[in-house]
Amino acid sequence: MSKLLKPEGYTALLSLNQTEQAIKKIKDFFLNSLSTELRLSRVTAPLFVLRGLGINDDLNGVERPVSFPIKDMGDATAEVVHSLAKWKRLTLAEYQTKPGFGIVTDMNAIRADEELDNLHSLYVDQWDWERVLLAENRNEAYLRRIVRKIYSAILRTEFYVCENYPQLNPYLPEDIHFIHSEELLKLYPDKTAKEREDLICKTYGAVFIIGIGGKLSNGEVHDNRAPDYDDWSTPNESGFLGLNGDLLVWYPTLNRSVELSSMGIRVDKEALLRQLALQGKEERKELYFHQRLLGDTLPLTIGGGIGQSRLCMVLLHKAHIGETQASIWPEAMRKECKEAGMQLI
């Protein structure tokens, strides 16, 4: 498997039994920390939603959702969620959640088109969270404030797990660095987006890249984003476009950056219409979710997803995400992993 990274001399620092116990400790502790930092209440989330309502996250627009007919509903089609980006906003409206408070849930997804490697799996598990905000908080300063709270929860969890397992040493920096995707392009103009991420993360250890989805000065986007959840086209006070971004850390075990979270301030009516037009997807205005937003029946929110297996992977110093979750892998990859000391669950 050419895409498999095999760190030289890699040895798992925890046994399989210790790993399973540590995964539970991390998930329980981080959820409590995140909920406290952001004032989130846990809710129950769906594994699948009905097709045609505009609720499912279409990611980059090319990934095929796993779907099936529902016998007792006239063979109406259900889709396994890609994420709960839009479902959470509907739920906040239903629960009449006040500004400054929000919800968090365990999101489980199947992404059949994922290219499998050390970080990508068919199975995706996230803490999906969403918080109501006031109109005056739709700005970059508020985005940075929330990012720092999330990073504080990550640091607290790293300290906790290292206290429980002394063979693990903390390595994350105390502070997170912020940079706009356009600034990052100007810093490394001859590099690809992924190379730019690696370089900036290796320099600072933990980075939040602001503004992902809109076109940069070179005519390209740093990474693709759907037009109907994150706001990636509104100018902010720094003069840049975008009120969203990705949280990444430098991961010495694999000698590369790892994205732990994608998040942002969500679209309001103006941003939704603008971004649908930019991507040529204006027909979505007729879908249920979009009608709710355009009809002023959904709150303004900020939200995102934080990878559960990925966080466990980087905090437990694992070389493959299959060491912190159970999934399906090509037999050739399983064989290579075993030979390289990676104990896939």
Task: Give per-residue pLDDT as tens, 117-164.
Answer: 999 999 999 999 999 999 999 999 999 999 999 999 999 999 999 999
Question: In this structure, what token pair is assigned to residue 74?
Answer: 């006239």
* pLDDT given for residue 54 in this prediction: 80
Cβ contact 181:216 at 8 Å: yes
Given 106, 114, 117, 259, the catalytic residue: 259
CA–CA dist 299, 92 (Å, integer): 7
Angle at Cα 67 formed by Cα 61 and Cα 68, nearest 5°?
160
Given 111, 131, 196, 266, the catalytic residue: 111
* pLDDT given for residue 334 in this prediction: 92
* pLDDT given for residue 239 in this prediction: 87
Residue 256: strand pairing partners: 251
Residue where the block lists tokens 């970080």? 119
How crowded is residue 310: how many other Cβ atoms within 10 Å of its Cβ? 25
* pLDDT given for residue 1 in this prediction: 44
The answer for residues whose C-beta is within 8 angstroms of residue 6's C-beta and 6 or more apart is: 319, 336, 340, 342
Given 35, 57, 198, 323, the catalytic residue: 57
* pLDDT given for residue 60 in this prediction: 60
Is residue 270 annotated as a catalytic residue, yes or no? Answer: no
- 3-state DSSP call for residue 142? helix
Is residue 262 annotated as a catalytic residue, yes or no? Answer: yes
CA–CA dist 185, 9 (Å, integer): 34
CA–CA dist 342, 345 (Å, integer): 9
Given 126, 233, 257, 309, the catalytic residue: 126
The one-letter amino acid at 248 = L
Positive or negative CA dihedral for 221, 227, 231, 237?
positive
Question: In this structure, what token pair is assigned to residue 287?
Answer: 């879908």
* pLDDT given for residue 57 in this prediction: 74
* pLDDT given for residue 270 in this prediction: 96
Residue where the block lists tokens 């499998």? 116
DSSP 37-74: HHTEEE----SEEETTSS-S--TTS-PPPPEEEEGGGT
Number of residues that make up the chain: 345
Smallest Cα–Cα separation from 64: which of 11, 121, 8, 112? 112
* pLDDT given for residue 80 in this prediction: 87
Is residue 57 annotated as a catalytic residue, yes or no? Answer: yes
* pLDDT given for residue 297 in this prediction: 97
| Average pLDDT per 10 consecutive residues for the chain, totaling 345 residues | 83 94 97 97 92 76 81 91 89 97 94 89 94 97 98 98 96 97 97 97 98 95 93 90 97 97 97 96 94 97 97 97 94 92 91
Q: Distances in Å between the alpha carbon of 134 and those of 147, 205, 253, 299, 301?
A: 17, 32, 41, 9, 8
Is residue 182 annotated as a catalytic residue, yes or no? Answer: no
Given 128, 182, 228, 246, the catalytic residue: 246
Given 83, 257, 262, 309, the catalytic residue: 262
Is residue 259 annotated as a catalytic residue, yes or no? Answer: yes
* pLDDT given for residue 199 in this prediction: 98
pTM of the complete model? 0.93
CATH (residue range 16-339): 3.30.930.10
CA–CA dist 281, 227 (Å, integer): 8
